[in-house]
Amino acid sequence: MIRLSNIKLPLGYSDDDIRAVCAKELRVPIKAIQQASLYRRSIDARHKNDIHYTTSIDITLSGNEQAALNKAKCKNAAITEPYRYIPLTPKNKDKRPLIVGTGPAGLFCALTLAQSGIRPIVIERGSRVEERTEAVNRMWQKAVLDAECNVQFGEGGAGTFSDGKLNTGTKDGRSRKVLLEFAAHGAPDEILYNAKPHIGTDKLRDTVKSIREELIALGAEVHFDTKLTDIKTNDGAITAAEVEHDGTKRLIECNEIVLAIGHSARDTFELIHGMGIHIEPKPFSVGVRIEHLRENIDRSQYGAAHSRLPAAYYKQNVHLKDGRGVYTFCMCPGGVVVAAQSEENSVVTNGMSEFARDKVNSNAALLVSVHPDDIVGEHRLKGMFWQRELEHKAFVAGGGDYRAPIIRVGDFLNKEISTRLGEVTPSYLPGTEFASMDDILPPFVTDSLREAIPMIDRRLHGFNHPDAILTAVESRSSSPIRITRDENMQSVSLKGLYPCGEGAGYAGGIVSAAVDGIKVAEKIITT
């Protein structure tokens, strides 16, 4: 087929518009175009009086495509092949690797193995998505926390109750397989061409359920409410995993364990640290959620055209005078701030949007980079312990009943305590309480936020609106540790242990975690 790049389309374009512009670019009659479909689409809003889509379009022509391309002499066109992922042939189909965790890393590792003919055993400490949704809603509506099944733990991982963002910085071609699999399992087709694709939490739940059903159909075992409690070894290699379900422990014999546990499985971090498995502290980030009226963000990004476009997305970062970075992360247009704690007596925030992104507010994490040297001590898990301290401080500041501490941006910048809300009503459930961020976060974080917010406002007008809301604490944006692995993606300390995904320190989002899961699966298949 032919791929046309850098093609401009107007807002409100039709299929006929796509075919017409393709025919014009290739200098062929419209009837010569057998098929034309979007490969990539982004909104170009650099000039508010000329907002349009910039696209790449895949075209199938009747006749000889290379000859037509040579005749057209179109600099934006090239012959291309559709992406295909070819499953590898396993050396040993009888092996039964154990996959711990059903976030994107675990799911795509299991799916890749199963599609190659290997039947993995998958365990997940939380519940399947149907029961998990009920547990999460109990937390949000009644402040009743289930420490084993929540926004962090359960089928689909933390991403299930998020925006379901699929944009990624990875250039790995396997990311296309991830998008194709999601679409095949019920995600909207537009994720295949939007430059900033998202599924939305409402559609993502059905998508991960569909992936589970394919795994089972391919011969995999999937066990929920089942937690890894120990790893049995002999002579530096894995012999079995001890797991617990409903208070009963049993052994699963295996020689390979994929540790796709996510960044919140702190008891598992402590388990492997106690076993002497090599872990190293790594940089991470902490901060707050910042929440604005969606209409204000949309207007700032798109001007008068905002009503004709989807809810606006932004991504901002600044470097401060002291060299520290502050940036926005996991931006949720038309979404809500959610309670995302997995431990009692703590408050953790995250962002979530449904596919429609039609809620009144938009929010994003506003994070300050943290280096291991910023934290006192030598313990390899010190970042994890420090996160826990901040989360407990937020719990106390919120009133000790899972309400979250909040402050208006104007009051935060002036170092005052808020006494009233303005035009932005916080969306966090089960509720909020006015508090000082300085009682929760250390000075290097709050000082950095105060310096960064006006700087970001110069790029995104209205970012420092005095009525915008800061909600604390955003502490789970990434893992504070890395479980070191070798060139075969196995732990440097234990043969057969495959640290994988975001929790292990090798990914930063749904797609990159899924890609890491695929890569680990490929190593297992060919070993």
* DSSP secondary structure, 470-483, as one string: EEEEE--SS-SEEE
Give percent above pLDDT 70 in the chain. Answer: 100
Class of the domain covering 2-79: alpha beta
Over the stretch 129-163, which tens digit does the pLDDT of each residue have? 999 999 999 999 999 999 999 999 999 999 999 99
Residues 60-112 have pLDDT tens digits of: 999 899 999 999 889 999 999 989 999 999 999 999 999 999 999 999 999 99
Q: What whole-number distance in Å separates Cα of residue 90 and Cα of residue 219?
A: 15
Residue 170 has pLDDT above 90, yes or no: no
Residue 167 has pLDDT above 90, yes or no: no
Is 181:136 a contact under the CB 8 Å cutoff?
A: no
Say how far apart CA 12 and CA 67 lie, in whole Å.
33
pLDDT at residue 22, as a whole number:
94
pLDDT for res 171: 85
Mean local confidence (pLDDT), 331-341:
97
Return the SS3 of 227: strand
pLDDT for 169 equals 81
Which residues lie below 8 Å from residue 67, measured CB to CB, with a gap of 6+?
none
Of the pLDDT bands very low, low, confident and very high (cuts 50, 70, 90), residue 7 is very high
Cα 77 to the center of its chain, rounded Å: 33
Check if the beta carbon of residue 418 is closer than 8 Å to that of residue 471: no
DSSP character string of 371-432: -GGGSSS--TTHHHHHHHHHHHHHHHHTTSSSPEEEEEHHHHHTT----S--SPPP--SS-E
**pLDDT for the residue 51:** 95
pLDDT of residue 468: 98
d(Cα 147, Cα 227) in Å, to the nearest integer? 12
User: What does pLDDT average to over the chain?
Assistant: 96
Q: Taking a C-beta distance cutoff of 8 angstroms, is the pair 150, 166 a contact?
A: no
Closest CA to 522 of 87, 123, 182: 87
The mean pLDDT of 479-498, rounded to a whole number, is 97
Model confidence, pTM: 0.95
Residue 270 DSSP code: H
In Å, what is the CA distance from 216 to each residue of 114, 212, 256, 260? 9, 6, 20, 19
The structural domains of the chain, with segments of one domain joined by +, span: 2-79, 98-280+481-526, 283-474
What is the predicted pLDDT for the residue at 432? 98
Q: Name which of 481, 488, 483 is nearest 259 in CA terms.
A: 483
Is CATH 3.50.50.60 what the domain over 98-280+481-526 is classified as, yes or no? yes
Residue 122 is predicted with a pLDDT of 98
Closest CA to 183 of 37, 13, 59, 308: 37
For residues 424-440, average pLDDT:
98
Q: What is the mean pLDDT of residues 198-208?
A: 95
Residue 168 has pLDDT above 90, yes or no: no
Q: How confident is the model over 381-400, as pLDDT tens digits?
A: 999 999 999 999 999 999 99
Tens of pLDDT along 438-481?
Answer: 999 999 999 999 999 999 999 999 999 999 999 999 999 999 99
Distance CA 42, CA 209 (A): 29
Evaluate if residue 127 carries a pLDDT over 90: yes
Q: For 499-524, how does the pLDDT look when each residue is reduced to its tens digit (9 = 90+)?
A: 999 999 999 999 999 999 999 999 99
